[in-house]
Amino acid sequence: MTGNLAFDTYKLSEDHDAIRAAVREIATERIAPYAADVDEQARYPQEAHDALVASDFFAPHVPEEYGGVGADALATCIVIEEVARADASASLIPAVNKLGSMPLILAASEEVKQKYLPPLARGEVAFSYGLSEREAGSDTAAMKCRARQDGDDWVLNGHKAWITNAGISEYYTVLAVTDPEGRRGSNVTAFVVEKSDPGFGFGEKERKLGIKGSPTRELHFDNCRIPGDRVVGDIGDGLKIALRTLDHTRITIGAQAVGIAQGALDAAAAYVKERKQFGKAIAEFQGIQFMLADMAMELEAARQLVYVAAAKSERMDADLAFFGAAAKCFASDVAMKVTTDAVQLLGGAGYVKDFPVERMMRDAKITQIYEGTNQVQRIVMARQLLKG
């Protein structure tokens, strides 16, 4: 491949196949039946939450030494993919638990890991991630949230925006500027903030196009005082930790996109075999067959890229940044196309809420936006290529 990027393959083991079968059964029986109501009521998918906790798929990525099942990156992607096939909102539960806690896994002291990872592994708490702000989305280094040291404590002031599962999660990894006069990008520090900390609160739930079952809110810090032992990694390394985190977790968004697309393809294929026009099932028309073939082909290409990126995440390969960005970007673009085509294949039925594909199309859109827009992913990929 161009530059020094290397395409290293992966291998699905019997354990991976068993995980897929187990999650698919749970998703089919305990998540999918509630997905339409979750979307319609814009309510948290508590049924999915409970099912994932009971089956150890709530935060499968947590290492065994912290009480987790220690699922590798590929297994975690399979979990997210299979849940997203039934309900994208529910798939954000394991995905965001990984996003919120990955900075700790990558950079926190052993004391911080021992305090916060075991309750997450047990399903007693959820973990969210506070990086973006209204005026600092793609330009994360422009953040205004501040943390100043006061004795042994830190005091946070400011806000974070677009925070997934805000209000549900008990713990939050929050990035804040700790040296306003310091060099841009090297003056940010990561902290763990707890829901009960004084001065910490939430904005109203955002009214969204899709993933309505996953609450999105602002985080508000008004002289929020936290103990000094809540620092994740070294002071000033927060942005580096945040970007390393995204290299790993963008892949989970790729997995989510693959799952959404698979759910839409399954629904469309089932529909066209039953729908009759001009005296026969519309699946017999070549135009329909070509659409289905293209949907399946592009979906499988996206799945393969996500799995390769997941294997690279597990190995901490040097070219992970490229493959993580590529997997997220390509899979989310495919999900948007596949779900839009699924709506088209169902015709008028695809445009109403009696069928799930209109929800899937709305849900797919966010995968092109969060954890870095697909325009940003292309910047990441280009930079990696030009380093070569």
Number of helices followed by number of strands (H, E) in the chain: 11, 10
298 is catalytic: no
74-77 long-range contacts, CB within 8 A, separation 24+: 74/10, 74/12, 74/16, 74/307, 74/310, 74/311, 74/314, 75/15, 75/16, 75/19, 76/252, 76/255, 76/310, 77/251, 77/252, 77/254, 77/255, 77/306, 77/307, 77/310
Amino acid symbol at 80: I
Identify whether the C-beta of residue 308 lies closer than 8 Å to the C-beta of residue 10. Answer: yes
Beta-strand (E) ranges in 96-236? 127-130, 146-150, 153-164, 171-177, 188-194, 200-202, 216-227, 231-232
What phi and psi, each to the nearest 5 degrees, are found at residue 379? -65, -45
Amino acid symbol at 275: R
Task: Determine the Cα–Cα distance for residues 353 and 323; give it in Å rounded to an integer.
Answer: 36
Task: Determine the Cα–Cα distance for residues 273 and 286; give it in Å rounded to an integer.
Answer: 13
Cα torsion at 13, 306, 133, 144 (round to 10°)?
Answer: 80
Taking each helix axis from N to C end, the angle separating 238-274 and 88-107, rounded to the nearest 10 degrees, works out to 160
The tokens for 337 are: 């196309």
Given 81, 133, 358, 371, the catalytic residue: 371
Taking each helix axis from N to C end, the angle separating 238-274 and 286-315, rounded to the nearest 10 degrees, works out to 150
Identify whether the C-beta of residue 136 lies closer than 8 Å to the C-beta of residue 148. Answer: no
Residues 6+ apart with CB under 8 A from 144: 133, 135, 136, 158, 177
* Residues belonging to the active site: 371
